[in-house]
Copies of this chain bind each other. A is one copy, B any other.
């Protein structure tokens, strides 16, 4: 295993208003970046509480609800809850969280001012049922895309992830050719010889490029681990390549605006300078509209040929 580099840039949301140029550079080169203390105090407590409700509902068996997804538990082999989709629709503090100014300013710095929010999900490791998440890329950059801007997830940790359960990444693998990444993923076992662990505290965040190789061990006897993933994409890439339609881009821009507004109404964000979303050119919007839902199902907005 690689140690965490001594001089690895780590952002601190208590001390910065957005990531620095050096941190942005590290993220572009290495495919991940740790940001400490994004959620704290009342917001952390609320988000934890709300996501615990969703977890409990799902753990009790949300039969028939397609937003609750199950996998085979690592210990019992039984169906255990592994993922919940559309958490923004399911919980108001998650709407306010999408408006988080440190996050949005940093996303804008990396993706430009026409970025759009895409996925919002919670990924779970059920207590003592941790499942190995083998080495993988989340998704591929669209075929033919030469735009160098990163597509990435912002992962909000609601529980501690220690060395037993935490995410491991292979730094720089986001820039590997497809074949190299595939060969590395095919290596048997959860080999960490070229990887580093990224232990996290509740409220910490990782930015991770969709193409950086990552995974996590089974973590025997693990406690519950909840991580919320908000994905963002540069609008220009989404417009040209999808996977979503133009209609989706526009609807999600309005969701973003509404969530920024939402955040301005919560007491725990009172002292903040709100993020100003200012898309331009093809992505300019004529004025905020209250979205008729916060749940635009991906499959309804994927591009199709007929």
Interface flags, A229-257, vs B, CB<8A=1, else 0: 00000000001001001111110010000
Contacts of A253 in B (CB 8 A): 247
How many residues of A are counted as interface, with CB atoms below 8 angstroms from the partner's CB atoms? 25
A279 to chain B, nearest CB (A): 9
Please tell me if A63 contacts chain B, counting CB pairs below 8 Å.
no
Q: Would you call A306 and B280 a contact (CB within 8 A)?
A: yes
Identical chains bound together, number: 2
Please tell me if A146 contacts chain B, counting CB pairs below 8 Å.
no
Contacts of A239 in B (CB 8 A): 239, 246, 282
Please tell me if A300 contacts chain B, counting CB pairs below 8 Å.
yes
Nearest B residue to A247 by beta-carbon distance? B250
- Partner of A247 from B278, B280, B285, B305 at Cβ < 8 Å: B285
A132 to chain B, nearest CB (A): 36
Please tell me if A187 contacts chain B, counting CB pairs below 8 Å.
no
Please tell me if A57 contacts chain B, counting CB pairs below 8 Å.
no
Contacts of A306 in B (CB 8 A): 278, 280
Please tell me if A281 contacts chain B, counting CB pairs below 8 Å.
yes
Please tell me if A284 contacts chain B, counting CB pairs below 8 Å.
yes
Please tell me if A283 contacts chain B, counting CB pairs below 8 Å.
yes
A115 to chain B, nearest CB (A): 14
Please tell me if A119 contacts chain B, counting CB pairs below 8 Å.
no
In whole angstroms, what is the CA distance A296 to B285 when docked?
A: 12
Q: Would you call B280 and A305 a contact (CB within 8 A)?
A: yes
Contacts of A286 in B (CB 8 A): 245, 247-248, 296, 300-301
In whole angstroms, what is the CA distance A248 to B285 when docked?
A: 9
Contacts of A285 in B (CB 8 A): 245, 247
Nearest B residue to A304 by beta-carbon distance? B284
In whole angstroms, what is the CA distance A282 to B245 when docked?
A: 4
Please tell me if A25 contacts chain B, counting CB pairs below 8 Å.
no
With known contacts A239-B246, A250-B246, A250-B250, A304–B282 Cβ distance under 8 A = no
In whole angstroms, what is the CA distance A88 to B40 when docked?
A: 52
Please tell me if A303 contacts chain B, counting CB pairs below 8 Å.
yes
Contacts of A278 in B (CB 8 A): 306
Interface flags, A243-276, vs B, CB<8A=1, else 0: 0011111100100000000000000000000000
In whole angstroms, what is the CA distance A235 to B286 when docked?
A: 19
Contacts of A281 in B (CB 8 A): 242, 245, 303-305
In whole angstroms, what is the CA distance A296 to B286 when docked?
A: 10
Binding site for B on A (CB under 8 A): 239, 242, 245-250, 253, 278, 280-287, 296, 300-301, 303-306
Complex A-B, nearest 8 residue pairs according to Cβ-Cβ distance, in ascending order: A286-B300, A247-B250, A246-B246, A281-B303, A245-B284, A250-B250, A246-B282, A247-B285
Sampled A-B contacts (18; CB under 8 Å): A239-B239, A239-B282, A242-B281, A242-B282, A245-B281, A245-B283, A246-B249, A247-B250, A247-B253, A247-B286, A248-B286, A250-B250, A280-B303, A280-B305, A280-B306, A282-B303, A284-B301, A284-B304
